Amino acid sequence: MQVNHLLASHSIASKFIAQLRDIEVQKDRMRFRRNIQRLGEILGYELSKSLEYKTQNIESPLGKAQMAIPSSQIVLCSILRAGLPLHEGLLNYFDDAENSFISAYRHHPNDDENFEIVVEYLASPSLENKTLILADPMLATGSSFVNVYESLKSMGTPKEIHLVSVIGAKPGIEMLQKVFPENTKLWIAAIDDKLDERGYIVPGLGDAGDLCYGSKLQH
């Protein structure tokens, strides 16, 4: 798997990540969602450089211009609910993409730190021979990406797979490298070193879904 780490070099994305982590700025849910959306746009732009293109003649008021236009058939799939702002950012750039939505959440059957990822809802077009962009803002253990990928297999075999995340942990990335096809590309803004005993990214930013949309009752 090819890992594309946005903050490996300095850019304005660092400011948006800093605000996402900041416990004071996090109190503003609208800004939190908007910063995830902005990072989706930036990651989408970087991802677009790896897509297939075809040349078209475009007629302007003063003549014709040969332009390179993306030719990949994109299906953009986001993991509910935290993935929605990231989906919006990516969709701002891939506005003609087909869309897929899937739910995945941590279920604690014994009310302790152990959990399993439960997938309950899936709405998706065919993925056969298309470009799948799978988006989830937090890549912690990697289990959500893996379980969702297994659920999507019934929708067909993509031509290529791109994973998009805002913040991830090295253990989760290592897990994805073992499961996803070798030609999979990961586009991620920030990579942290470790997980805590609950499987949350450290330093991370907390629960992205709760920070976007408010706290929820635990399953």
CATH of the domain at 103: 3.40.50.2020
This prediction has a pTM of 0.91
The one-character DSSP state at 95 is: T
Q: Would you say residue 178 has pLDDT above 70?
A: yes
Task: Determine the pLDDT at residue 25.
Answer: 96
CA torsion sign for 47, 69, 133, 43 is positive
**Contact yes or no for 134/101 (Cβ under 8 A):** no
Residue 65 maps to a domain: no
Residue 26 maps to a domain: yes
Residue 218 CB-half CA count within 13 A: 10
Q: Would you say residue 24 has pLDDT above 80?
A: yes
Range of the domain at 203: 2-50+73-213
CA 74 to chain centre: 14
Give how many domains the chain has, as a whole number.
Answer: 1
Reference 43, options 1, 96, 103, 83; nearest CA is 83
Question: Which of 83-87, 94-98, 117-121, 157-161 shows the lowest mean pLDDT across its residues?
Answer: 117-121
Band of residue 158 on the pLDDT scale cut at 50, 70, 90: very high
Residue 61 maps to a domain: no
